[in-house]
Amino acid sequence: MTILASAPMRVIAVCNRKGGAGKTTTSVNVAAELAALGWRVLLLDLDSQGHCAVGLGVKAQAGAACLHSLFTNPQARLLDTVRDTGLENLWLAPADQLFEHGTGVRDELLLARALADPAVAARFDLVLVDTPPSLDLLLLNALSAAHWVLVPFVPHPLSFEGVRQLMRVLFKVMSNQNPGLKLLGFLPTMAAENIRQHRATTGDVGRQYGAPRVLPGIRNDIKLAEAFAVGQPVRAYAPSSRGAQDFSALASCLTQLLA
């Protein structure tokens, strides 16, 4: 039995306007941790790089429907794009690596309608959406469909600028398409407390947006990259590593915030 069998399905968009902030690493490993806790998790890969499939060891299937089919085929259904990851309680709707950003149906609410399918809500407790860094139709679809936004950021001035750019977009979406959208928190990634700039940038985020919104960080750990290389979440590849410990602690924190 899952821990949220009677609760409404939650949708979390993982976003930052700056590339290289750890969005996909966060999406894959948070999805795996929450699935291990008993949540039925669907991971949606909106970034056409398709790295969620790499991180979970899911092989591309020629001609198979994928998440971006929703934007190119009016007949496509979300559940038709879902694939088993081989991990208990975790499924993936992979990206189309040939999808050209800026193309497809111009509808900012398309993903929200796809997720409103009662069959989707009956099957999953949580949907995590890995987003592209570009401000385009795909990012707006994710924000319009989500209940919560999780913002990974490297404690570096350029990543902090990406956070500020995202927040401007976020407030616009909250004022128009999705007034119920909430900020889940800011997640420092590749963090090192012994680096002064990291401490300073994390402090800047806390001062500007509220210290309680800064989540327990993910320390820099080569095991996270090695896990991607072999197509496994870090909890499976190196369960005693810093990365696995940090994502486990983060999952416990998110469970409390989402309760």
CB 81 within 8 A of CB 65: yes
Which domains are assigned to the chain?
Answer: 10-258 (3.40.50.300)
Residue 237 CA, chain-centre distance (Å), reads 20
CB 241 within 8 A of CB 223: yes
Long-range CB pairs of 198-203 (<8 Å, 24+ gap) are: 198/155, 198/156, 199/155, 200/155, 201/153, 201/155, 201/156, 201/157, 201/159, 201/160, 202/155
Residue pLDDT, tens place only, 118-133: 999 999 999 999 999 8
Which tokens sit at 128?
């995590």
pLDDT of residue 20: 84
pLDDT of residue 5: 44
- What are the residues whose beta carbons fall under 8 Å from the beta carbon of 59, sequence distance 6 or more? 53
**Amino acid (one-letter) located at 131:** T
E strand spans, 56-180: 83-84, 90-93, 126-130, 148-153
Helices 242-258/222-229 angle, 10° precision: 90
pLDDT of residue 7: 67
pTM attached to this predicted model: 0.93
Which parts of the chain register pLDDT below 70?
1-7
